[in-house]
Structure 1
Amino acid sequence: MSFATLGLIEPLQRVLAELEHHTPTPIQRQAIPAVLAGRDLIAAAQTGSGKTASFALPLLQKLNAGTPASANRVRALVLTPTRELAQQVADNLRTYGRHLSLRILVAYGGTSLNPQMMALRRGADILVATPGRLLDLYGKNAFRFHELQMLVLDEADRMLDMGFSRELQEILALLPRQRQTLLFSATFSDAIRELAAGLLYKPQQVDASPRNTTVGTVKQWLITVDKQRKLELFCYLLRKRHWPQVLVFAKTRKRVDELVTSLKYQNIGTDAIHGDITQAGRLAALRRFQAGTVRVLVATDVAARGLDISALPLVVNLDLPVDAEGYVHRVGRTARAGAAGEAISLVCADEAVQLNAIETLIGKLLQRREIQGFEPKHAVPITGPNKRPPSLKAMRNAGNKTGVKKKRVRAPKGAPASKKKPGGKKPGPRGPLGQTLGQKQWIPKRHTVEPTG
């Protein structure tokens, strides 16, 4: 099957040929005809499987057939959870639509508001935005939704998560009821699917791959190590295995800064991406990494979605993510567009619950390894798909290498019984009101009666 059989117009087929995209992916084969037919859509596909083109191509084609946007008006809105993803989607839309006369704008926080307001004065056929900045611009009367025809929620699971639910509800209340709504993501829980179905009209559901899974071309495994030695182990592996380029995910900004400081001390080209870095700084770090001038890019989960790095060979999880879905998106930064990749996780005993949730979500047991000289003193409890999460007792017993609870040693028969009672110290004598007496004699407290007048 070719893109021509999907009903795409000649300018879009031409740009796909220029990009050497000749065969549509499974998600594209199912989603593009449905969007062109005007159907609302809930689409799930693995990260790196061509999700963006699945809505970008038909979106461009439908808008090209209509009239251009009026001043301060928006014809199509694409919402994304992160700035990086917003910029990436806007870049893809401009690339696919370079033979069309459509005005595509992007708006996100961390940058000045005025340039974005000025750009919206002429209107936008497509506006790609994060929820917070979109509401800021709307509050400043930068645009209105009277001409809106299409709404796209990219990474819809995060958009419908608790962190974005309030902003999303505010935005939906501003939009026209008659519109086409598309939800795309790599991970969808059943609860989110039910919630999403309430936003759409008779939606068509597309599952182009097994739900909440990682790409089969990614080799995934983990190394068990104590938490205190994770940074040391990563630096050792970077030197020993001569990794040419690696994307590292850490849980917190502090952990990112710790690893960056350590690597720079060893004269290893390193950059960081996290919430405390300005948007300009984050984009500059990403450009240096994509250009190959930086060997290691360390990031928090703000980069788990939206980083499209071609031929990235390796992703390392310095810390496991809090939610299992985050693991799928992290791993999806490698092995994109059918390429091969590798994902390594450094796991300590404290992360057994997260590991169990990840293996249950992806339906596979991650192979465990130990590195000589870095064997953990605190064993990681046994986990696996559909296993019950490790209990607190198992976590406490992780300090024992075998994971077996130590038995209490009983006194041999015939040994004299202990005179100590289980209650602890024997209480001393008590005073006339039941107070416990110490070594000093108990003296009753004097009470002064106030005069009543």
Structure 2
Amino acid sequence: MSFSDLGLSADVLRAVTEQGYETPTPIQAQAIPAVLRGKDLMAGAQTGTGKTAAFTLPLLDRLASTAQGGQRRVRALILAPTRELAAQVQDSVRVYGAHLQLRSLAVFGGVGIQPQITALRRGVDILVATPGRLQDHLDRGSVDLSKVEILVLDEADRMLDMGFLPAIERILRSVPARRQTLLFSATFAGPIRQLAGRFLSEPEVIEVARANATTESVSQSVYLVDHARKRELLSYLIGARNWRQVLVFTRTKRGADRLAASLEKDGLTAASIHGDKSQGARTRALKDFKRQSVRVLVATDVAARGLDIDRLPHVVNYELPDTPEDYVHRIGRTGRGGERGEAMSLVCADESGQFRAIQSLIKIPLPVSTVEGFEPAAPFDPNRAVGKPPIRRGAGSGKSAASSRRRPAPQASHPRGDRGRPQGAGKPGSRARQRRA
């Protein structure tokens, strides 16, 4: 099947071809025809499966086929949970709508509201927004949603997790009851089904992957290590394996900042991204990471949700997430678009509960081992409580930290030195436990 088989217009197909795409992904092949038929849609797809194009392409096609003259009004509204995702969806709208006479705008917090008000007054056809900032515009009377024909709830599960339900309800009271609604979610948990039952009309249901499944294109592994030596092990792995681009997850904002600063001291270019950063700082950090002038991007779950980084090779869970579903979202940042990826978790004894929850959710065994010289002082088996067989440890396992020989870390080369040498030596150090942010 090709995109030309899906019923899209020539102008939309032209934009798709210019981006080098020929064959739709499973979610695109199923969702695009349904949206073109005007059906409400409840779609579940694993992250990285092309869901943004699955609603962007038919949305653009439908709006272009019913072009209206006079003052531009918001005819399509796309809600996204984070600033980064809203900006990326807007990029997709712009790219795929390159040959259409449609105007779009993204509005989100962290930047001045006045330029957004000015752009809204000029008129837009497609509005991409985060719920909080859109509610601000509604309160100010700077946006009119009375002409919305198509509403998209992107990553609806995350919006609910972030507490946006009241804002979503307020927004939905401002759009026409007669509209097409498209809901996209990584999971179909109870709250999502309740949301769909309230706001969708006889939706077509599409699910292209088992809920909470991890992609086969991502190799997953776990290293056991004492909490105090996680940073040292991470720095060693990046340098010894010469990783050039790695996304690292922490649980807290303060932890992300501290880890990035420590990695910088180890000779690794690093930046952090989280909700307390200004939008400008977040945009710069992501841009530098994409062009690989920053080697390590340390992120919290909320900030990283929706990040779209082509061919990201490595994801590291520096700390396991509080909920197992977030593990699936984290490792879904790599292994996208048919590329291979690697996801690694550094697990200490205090995280055995989270580890068991993850194993129970994804229903596949994760290979667990240690790195020579970084064995935990008190060996533990995070699987024991769920009846898994004993862990097969790597070389040098079973030794205490005092008796084991530390493996020397590679020396950090000068930034202008030999590019072939691994940069970023791990240095001994400890890291205090973070409070939750």
Normalised by the length of structure 1, the TM-score is 0.83
Change over 3 Å in CA distance of 1:9–1:276 after alignment to 2: same
CA contact (8 A) 1:87 1:106 kept: yes
CA distance in 1, matches of 2:365, 2:82: 30
2:115 — aligned with what? 115
Query: What SS does structure 1 have at the residue aligned with 2:373?
Result: coil
CA distance in 1, matches of 2:319, 2:88: 25
- Are residue 338 (structure 1) and residue 341 (structure 2) matched? no
CA contact (8 A) 1:85 1:305 kept: yes
CA contact (8 A) 2:324 2:358 kept: yes
Change over 3 Å in CA distance of 1:43–1:117 after alignment to 2: same
CA distance in 2, matches of 1:281, 1:76: 29
1:156 — aligned with what? 156
Letter in 2 for 1:177: A
CA contact (8 A) 1:69 1:123 kept: no
CA contact (8 A) 2:78 2:129 kept: yes
CA distance in 1, matches of 2:360, 2:190: 15
- Are residue 298 (structure 1) and residue 298 (structure 2) matched? yes
Change over 3 Å in CA distance of 1:164–1:380 after alignment to 2: farther
CA distance in 2, matches of 1:74, 1:324: 37
CA distance in 1, matches of 2:252, 2:267: 23
Query: How far does residue 73 in structure 1 lie from its aligned partner after superposition?
Result: 3.2
Query: What SS does structure 1 have at the residue aligned with 2:144?
Result: coil
CA contact (8 A) 1:72 1:143 kept: no
1:189 — aligned with what? 189
Letter in 1 for 2:92: N
1:432 — aligned with what? none
Q: Structure 2 matches for 1:171-320, cutoff 5 A?
A: 171-320=171-320
Letter in 2 for 1:368: V
Residue by residue over 1:363-418, the C-alpha shift from the partner in whole angstroms, topping out at 9 and shown as x without a partner, is 2111101111211134444439x9499xxxxxxxxxxx89xxxxxxxxxxxxxxxx
Residue by residue over 1:159-188, the C-alpha shift from the partner in whole angstroms, topping out at 9 and shown as x without a partner, is 233611111121122221111111112233
CA contact (8 A) 2:224 2:370 kept: yes
2:133 — aligned with what? 133
CA contact (8 A) 1:80 1:154 kept: yes
Query: How far does residue 195 in structure 1 lie from its aligned partner after superposition?
Result: 3.3
CA contact (8 A) 1:304 1:329 kept: no
1:370 — aligned with what? 370
Q: Structure 2 matches for 1:54-133, cutoff 5 A?
A: 54-68=54-68, 71=71, 73-133=73-133
Query: How far does residue 26 in structure 1 lie from its aligned partner after superposition?
Result: 0.6
2:418 — aligned with what? none
CA contact (8 A) 1:250 1:298 kept: yes
Letter in 1 for 2:31: A
The structure with more radius of gyration: 1
Change over 3 Å in CA distance of 1:70–1:378 after alignment to 2: farther
Residue by residue over 1:213-247, the C-alpha shift from the partner in whole angstroms, topping out at 9 and shown as x without a partner, is 12211001111111121111111111221111111
1:448 — aligned with what? none
Query: How far does residue 16 in structure 1 lie from its aligned partner after superposition?
Result: 1.3
CA distance in 2, matches of 1:308, 1:102: 24
CA contact (8 A) 1:71 1:121 kept: no
Query: What SS does structure 1 have at the residue aligned with 2:337?
Result: helix
CA contact (8 A) 1:120 1:142 kept: yes
CA contact (8 A) 1:246 1:296 kept: yes
Query: What SS does structure 2 have at the residue aligned with 1:206?
Result: strand
Letter in 2 for 1:294: V
CA distance in 2, matches of 1:173, 1:3: 35
Residue segments in structure 2 that go unaligned for 5+ positions in a row: 389-397, 400-437
Query: How far does residue 191 in structure 1 lie from its aligned partner after superposition?
Result: 4.1
CA distance in 2, matches of 1:129, 1:337: 25
CA contact (8 A) 2:72 2:125 kept: no
Which is further off, 268-277 or 23-32?
A: 268-277
Letter in 1 for 2:228: Q
CA distance in 1, matches of 2:251, 2:333: 17
The CA RMSD measured in Å over matched residues stands at 2.0
Query: How far does residue 22 in structure 1 lie from its aligned partner after superposition?
Result: 0.5
Change over 3 Å in CA distance of 1:353–1:19 after alignment to 2: same
2:425 — aligned with what? none
CA distance in 2, matches of 1:251, 1:270: 17
Percent identity between the two aligned chains: 52
CA contact (8 A) 2:353 2:382 kept: no
Change over 3 Å in CA distance of 1:222–1:351 after alignment to 2: same
Change over 3 Å in CA distance of 1:348–1:66 after alignment to 2: same
Query: What SS does structure 2 have at the residue aligned with 1:16?
Result: helix
Residue by residue over 1:90-144, the C-alpha shift from the partner in whole angstroms, topping out at 9 and shown as x without a partner, is 0011111111111110000000000000000022211100011001011111111
Normalised by the length of structure 2, the TM-score is 0.85
Letter in 1 for 2:176: P
Residue segments in structure 1 that go unaligned for 5+ positions in a row: 390-400, 403-453
Query: How far does residue 71 in structure 1 lie from its aligned partner after superposition?
Result: 4.6
1:326 — aligned with what? 326
